[in-house]
């Protein structure tokens, strides 16, 4: 006897606000799925609307957010606009009873982020933040290696995210690039930093920092450093994670072998050996290259967003995770204003 056919899943109807830099990637990933349909794209820019219309002729293209929110064929909205508009747009979306995915950073202040969290909880809708790197096979592999004790006690996290441009008009380089690394830190370690220092530099007359270094201290002894820049002649996206047993290098620019695990370290307590801090034993073993999930991160993320809508599960990068990053960005601004003093968290 043949099994009865499975009932078709009703597609979730998604709209995207903002069709500039990131919006097209969101529309492409949502449109490529069988379990959802993109019903509308909204943008203030006429050229952006024209481009969206050429690529997606079956999708309604509009200028007015009010028109989008008045539509009866929108279940969820993805927001890909400048951060200064995130709070107002997300507030309207949530109050209209729709689920919302917000591009990073979540909001311009932690107070705004808390308000959105409360609004979403009261409305019973999913609030998710677009911390895309949490959905890469590389970052998820790093987390599993940590959980399995492969690197031992974590010593340091060192990341470099630099390239030439894009200079932003409304935020500095910390708010533009550092959310990626701060969200990765929050995901990898079940510990919040106790203090943060930010040192930044302005060179091209934009009035905002184009280069910056963040140092984060943790009670466990872990130290994290994040370097970001819009003024590098080369693109670098590299993270190093060192521990008592092994070290990890994650190079996102590397086309294939993005994560390498080094069996290297320094030993000061080897039994039977004359070991001192001045004469340590250096361990140099093999380098392993773990197999990674090669799926596009945004594909994994949009699938997760839709899954959370369907079953009511808590997003991996939900409101609290977005708030945690915004709090660190605010602390960075305080440190920059104090000429690089450490600020308590």
CA 311 → CA 76, 127, 304, distances in Å?
14, 14, 11
Dmax over CA atoms of the chain, in Å, equals: 76
Q: Which of 331, 308, 299, 326 is nearest to 120 (CA)?
A: 308
Beta bridge partners, 41, equal 16, 61
Q: How far is CA 148 from the centre of its chain?
A: 23
The CATH number given to 134-294+327-344 is 3.30.360.10
> 12-131+298-317: which CATH architecture?
3-Layer(aba) Sandwich (3.40)
Peptide bond into 166 cis (omega under 30): yes
Cβ within 8 Å of residue 320, ≥6 positions away: 117
Helix ranges, 19-85 (H)? 23-31, 46-55, 65-70
Q: Return per-residue pLDDT of the chain as tens, 345 residues.
A: 344 444 457 999 999 999 999 999 999 999 999 999 999 999 999 999 999 999 999 999 999 999 999 999 999 999 999 999 999 999 999 999 999 999 999 999 999 999 999 999 999 999 999 999 999 999 999 999 999 999 999 999 999 999 998 788 889 999 999 999 999 999 999 999 999 999 999 998 778 999 999 999 999 999 999 999 999 999 999 999 999 999 999 999 999 999 999 997 766 555 545 555 555 556 677 899 999 999 999 999 999 999 999 999 999 999 999 999 999 999 999 999 999 999 999
Structure tokens at 259: 């994560």
Percentage helix, strand, coil for the chain under 3-state DSSP, each rounded to 5:
35, 30, 35
Domain regions of the chain by residue span: 12-131+298-317, 134-294+327-344
Find out whether 84 and 64 touch, Cβ atoms under 8 Å: no
How far is residue 134's CA from residue 256's CA, in Å, rounded to a whole number?
Answer: 18
Copy the structure tokens of residue 292: 């990674």
**Beta strand pairing call for 99-103 and 76-79:** parallel
Distance CA 149, CA 243 (A): 10
């Amino acid at each position: 006897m043949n099994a009865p056919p499975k009932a078709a899943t009703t597609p979730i109807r998604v709209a995207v606000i903002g069709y500039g830099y990131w919006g097209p990637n969101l529309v492409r990933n949502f449109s490529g799925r069988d379990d959802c349909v993109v019903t509308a794209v909204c943008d203030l820019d006429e050229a952006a609307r024209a481009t969206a219309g050429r690529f997606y002729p079956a999708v309604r293209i509009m200028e007015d957010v009010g028109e989008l929110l008045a539509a009866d064929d929108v279940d969820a909205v993805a927001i890909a606009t400048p951060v200064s508009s995130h709070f107002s747009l997300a507030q309207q979306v949530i109050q209209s009873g729709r689920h919302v995915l917000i591009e990073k950073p979540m909001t311009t202040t932690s107070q705004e982020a808390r308000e959105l969290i409360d609004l979403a909880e009261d409305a019973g809708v999913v609030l998710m933040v677009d911390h895309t790197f949490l959905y890469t096979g590389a970052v998820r592999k790093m987390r599993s290696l940590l959980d399995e004790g492969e690197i031992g006690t974590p010593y340091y996290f060192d990341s470099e995210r630099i390239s030439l441009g894009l200079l932003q008009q409304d935020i500095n380089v910390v708010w533009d690039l550092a959310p990626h690394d701060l969200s990765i830190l929050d995901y990898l370690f079940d510990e919040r930093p106790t203090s943060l220092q930010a040192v930044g530099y302005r060179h091209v007359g934009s009035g905002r920092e184009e280069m910056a270094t963040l140092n984060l201290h943790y009670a466990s002894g872990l130290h994290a450093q994040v370097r970001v820049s819009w003024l590098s002649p080369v693109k670098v996206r590299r993270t190093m994670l060192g521990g008592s047993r092994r070290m990890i290098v994650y190079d996102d620019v590397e086309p294939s072998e993005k994560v390498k695990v080094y069996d290297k370290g320094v030993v000061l307590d080897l039994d039977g050996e004359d070991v001192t801090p001045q004469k340590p034993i250096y361990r140099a073993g093999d380098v392993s290259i773990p197999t990674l999930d090669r799926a596009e991160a945004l594909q994994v993320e949009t699938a997760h967003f839709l899954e959370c809508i369907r079953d009511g599960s808590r997003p991996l990068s939900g409101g609290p995770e977005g708030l945690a990053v915004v709090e660190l960005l605010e602390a960075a601004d305080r440190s920059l204003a104090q000429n690089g003093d450490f600020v308590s968290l």
